[in-house]
Amino acid sequence: MNFLRHNFPILRFEEEWGTVKEPAVVVTFDDGYADNFLQALPILEEVGIPATFFISTGLLGSGQEFWWDEMERLILGDHADPGPFRLDDHQYGRSWPTLNRHDRLALHADLHRLAGKIGASRRDYWLEQLRAWAGLNRNGREANRPLTPEELRLLAASRWTTIGAHTVTHTPLALLTEEEQRREIVDSKKQLEELLAHAVTVFSYPFGTKKDYNRTSIRLCREAGFRKAAANFPGQSHRWTDPWQVPRQLVRNWDMSTFAAELSSFWA
Ligand SMILES: [Zn+2]
């Protein structure tokens, strides 16, 4: 964050960028992990960097993990092997051996990939089956938990932060019917606005690659009263960029020199 602060103008996601002349940076976070409040906010405030947090509302305060984290905990955790995992599903149902690490990694890779192709209630049923298989409950790991409503309110109260919506269940919108998409988009906006008592005008698509949303998603976001939406494919934003598909560069857990090198490649 210090490197960004010293090298670039830093804008807010919701601002109009049309008159920006030099390369500038916008910082965003997706999903709504508790560490956004616990770890990121103190750094942003200390360095003086504005950031937008796109929040999935379905698990706020639940102490449960997002589905990809729970899937990882249930399959790759160090609990004893309960025997082969049999998935009950009309399309993908089958059995996987789980004897060793290799088996578990294969099971995890398969289910993680397939879960990206199904809706939320079917995915919840898969997780239920995994919990029963592993003999574990829904309680998530502290490091992975979503924000509580109170933490979200405190995060939102900072002058450096903007809160955006990121659906309720974090399902790829392109998988859903128009009505289901509308619920995901409108309900997450409403839930955030009720909690924060102010308007929420920006959105980001779950997963956010061009396969994960469609024209209907964009229209529904516009109709819901959003002003701009973030996607998740790499690129720069220019005057001619579609404000409903703002590209973003994913930043990993890099050390400083890698970050600096990757960042300069973003401008290439
Ligand atoms: Zn997300």
pLDDT at 5: 96
The parts of the chain modelled with pLDDT lower than 50 are none
Cα–ligand 1 centroid distance for 29 (angstroms): 9
pLDDT at 145: 94
Cα–ligand 1 centroid distance for 130 (angstroms): 22
* Predicted model pTM: 0.94
Cα–ligand 1 centroid distance for 202 (angstroms): 14
Residue 198: both structure tokens together: 């102010």
pLDDT at 69: 96
**2-14+23-62+146-266 maps to CATH 3.30.450.20:** no
pLDDT at 131: 97
User: pLDDT tens digits for 242-253?
Assistant: 999 999 999 999
Cα–ligand 1 centroid distance for 188 (angstroms): 13
User: What are the structural domain ranges in the chain?
Assistant: 2-14+23-62+146-266, 67-134
pLDDT at 265: 87
pLDDT at 78: 87
pLDDT at 72: 96
pLDDT at 126: 98
